[in-house]
Amino acid sequence: MAGNSLTGSIPTEIANLQNLNRFYLYKNSITGSIPTEIGNSKSLSILYIYDNGLTGTIPSEIANIPKLKYVYLFDNHLTGTLPTQLERMTSLAILATSHNLLTGTISPKILNLPSLGKLHNSPTPD
């Protein structure tokens, strides 16, 4: 579903897709917030929802997804801080949150996750 000029929001029913392991919804015109229900997607390993118009905060429930390795949230309008619950994501390999409106500092525990290979967290360019 990537790059198809899709509009609307991410439905809360995403959690009902229990066998969903890859969610590609990048380069569209998706708005609204990331639903907290996404934390119930226990098979999800790849979450690519970058380059949209997403707003709100990064839900802490993302940390409840045990197999999640790749999280690409960059180029949206997300606000707030990185949830400290991300410290529990021992499978996380890449976390890309650049070019949002995030504030605060990154927990050292997130930086020291054993599988984290890349962290992209630069601010929104002027």
Tell me how far apart the alpha carbons of residues 75 and 87 are, in angstroms, rounded to a whole number.
23
Dihedral, CA of residue 24, residue 28, residue 33 and residue 34, to nearest 10: 0
Q: Please check the confidence at residue 25 and state whether its pLDDT lies above 80.
A: yes
Cβ contacts of 79 within 8 Å, gap of 6 or more: 55, 56, 57, 100, 101, 102, 103
Q: Please check the confidence at residue 114 and state whether its pLDDT lies above 70.
A: yes
- For the residues 62-71, what does the mean pLDDT come to? 96
What is the model's pTM? 0.90
- For the residues 66-76, what does the mean pLDDT come to? 96
Question: What is the domain partition of the chain in residue ranges?
Answer: 7-120
**What CATH number is given for 7-120 in this structure?**
3.80.10.10
Q: Please check the confidence at residue 123 and state whether its pLDDT lies above 70.
A: no
